[in-house]
Structure formats: structure tokens, C-alpha cells
Amino acid sequence: MLVTMKEILDHAKKGGYGVTAPNVQSEDTVRAVLEVAEEYHAPMIVDVNAFIHTDLPWFIHMIRDLAEKVSVPVAINLDHGKSYEDIMLAINSGFTSIMVDRSSLSYEENVEQTKEVVKMCRPLGISVEAELGHVGMGNNYAVDGVNNLTVPKEAADFIKETGVDCLAVAIGTAHGRYTGTPHIDFERLKQLVEACGETPLVLHGGSGTGDENLRKAVRSGIQKVNLATELIVAGKEELEDFIKDPNFDKWKLIPAFKKGYKDRLAHYVELFDQAGKAWG
């Protein structure tokens, strides 16, 4: 069943568990995500990047159609909406949630532009996520991983000024693959949880951060963990193992990729205590 991201994350905050937000790229990855959600009776957030698809409305229509047929709560979230055009397209395409990413701008510009998106989305019942601080790229972790971390006082002010439903914070993770060892600033996370009160917090760059770090982050107050690279790599590795057999069945290539993707996602559903938390 389709719900907003706010419903899922508010429930997670009250229940003390985390929610995976896998980034999908195809119908097969969408089906993999929804199958895991059903099999583990887990609420799920489906993240979609606007730049992935030339026909975003069709892709979202497909996700909505599949999500409406499952018995567990599912939200469809635009990941890293950077332009006004992306956000308007997402609203008109049927997303239940929007992430507006103005984290590379000044604090003042981030506030003003995020407020405008909240103003557009709230009357439509669409949840809004924003980012404060900046989560960079893993291939530049030595620089991006330690700079532009979220300041707790600014986070509290940002939430008050914009009215966002959840906030992505920078505490030491990065997008993609790491070239350095990730160091998560748990003391900063503790301060952010205290400063942000009832507002759920989001961790971008979950891939490669490590089970111990991610479990601790969820238990310390993170409600949503974004995952992309690690799921795709798991699917790729399963596919590579499958085709080592010279007599492999060509009709089972996609199922092999899907199995690797599903298995890795299921691992995180269990790690974050998300299994069995669905309602409705």
C-alpha cells in the first residue's frame, strides 16, 4: 500500500528501528525491493533518481501500480531533486515524497529554496526531505568525509524555518565506494538527535559504511538509510558467479542479478530491525 515517507519515518522513530531506502533503476530492482518488503513484512521507501529515466512518469506509474498491490507500507521518494523542473516532474508523476537537495548552497539559500518546496508539497500531502551539511563522494572521502558536516544548532533552526518532514545529515558517510576508511561522528549524531527533537534523521551513503557503523547509527537515532552502490554490486557479483558455468541458462541472467540484490537488501532489513514492523 502506498503511504508517505513521513508516515513510515514517524513510525520508525517511535518504534526505534531503521528503514532501508534502496535506489531502484529498473522494473526488476523495483520488484526485488517490493518482494523483500512483503517477505519480511517491512515498511519500505523506494528511492528514485530523476536523472535515471528519460520517461520518469512511466517509471513511477509502474512503481505505484506494483506498490499498491503489496500489503505493506511503501513510499516512493525522489532522491536528490536538484532542480525546480525535477521536483515539479516528480510531483506530477505521483511521488509520495520529495528530497530537495540544496546542500551545496549557502545555509540561507538552502532554507529559502527548501521552504518553497515544502510550500508546494504540503497541500498535496507529499513529504519533504532536505539535506543540511553535505554528503560528498566516496572517491574523494579524504576531503568530503570530514568537511561540511552538519552543525546541530543549524539543523534545529533549519527544521524550524523550513518545516521539512525529515532531514539528511552529514556525519561522515559518502556516496558510492570509499577510497578511505569511513569514520562516523557518533557524538555529532547524538547532538543532532537531541537538537532535532521529533524530526526523523536520514543517512545518505549507506553502502560500504559497514554493519557495525550502520547498526550503531540506527540505534543512535537514524531512521532512514539510503542504499544504492552496494545493492547493485551484490547483484553484479551474483550474476558473475552465475555465468561462470559455461552452460548457464541465458533466460536466468536477470533472476541471478535480482537474487544478489534481494539478498543484500534483506540483510539490511534485518540489521536495522525493520523486519516485522509493517502495519495496515
- The conformation of residue 165, written as its DSSP 8-state character, comes to S
Strand ranges in 108-216 using DSSP code E only, listed in sequence order: 127-132, 166-169, 201-203
Q: Would the pTM of this model clear 0.75, i.e. be above it?
A: yes
Confirm whether residue 11 is marked as ligand binding: no
pLDDT digits (tens, 9 = 90+) for 70-128: 999 999 999 989 888 989 999 999 999 999 999 989 999 999 999 999 999 999 999 99
Number of other CB atoms surrounding residue 130 within 10 Å: 28
Enclosing H/E stretch for 75 = strand 74-81
Taking the CA atoms of 238, 244, 247 and 251 in sequence, report the sign of the dihedral they define: positive
What's the chain's Rg over C-alpha atoms?
18
Grid cell, residue 113, equals 529554496
Is 79 part of the annotated catalytic residue set? yes
Q: Are 130 and 168 in contact (CB under 8 A)?
A: yes
Burial label for 209, CB within 10 Å (0-12, 13-18, 19+), is: buried
User: What is the arrangement of strands in the sheet containing 97-100, beginning at the earlier edge strand?
Assistant: 19-22, 224-227, 201-203, 166-169, 127-132, 97-100, 74-81, 44-49
pLDDT digits (tens, 9 = 90+) for 153-177: 999 999 999 999 999 999 987 654 5
Confirm whether residue 149 is marked as ligand binding: no
Average pLDDT, the chain: 91
SS3 content of the chain, % helix, strand, coil (to 5): 50, 15, 35
Q: What is the pLDDT of residue 138?
A: 42
140: pLDDT strictly greater than 70:
no
Confirm whether residue 226 is marked as ligand binding: yes
CATH topology of domain 5-271: TIM Barrel (3.20.20)
Q: Are 86 and 50 in contact (CB under 8 A)?
A: yes
Confirm whether residue 101 is marked as ligand binding: yes
Confirm whether residue 267 is marked as ligand binding: no
Residue bearing cell 546542500? 103
Sequence spans of domains, the chain? 5-271
42: pLDDT strictly greater than 80:
yes
- The conformation of residue 51, written as its DSSP 8-state character, comes to G
Local confidence band at 139 (pLDDT 50, 70, 90 cut-offs)? very low
Residue among 10, 47, 55, 79 flagged as catalytic: 79
pLDDT digits (tens, 9 = 90+) for 241-267: 999 999 999 999 999 999 999 999 999
Confirm whether residue 114 is marked as ligand binding: no
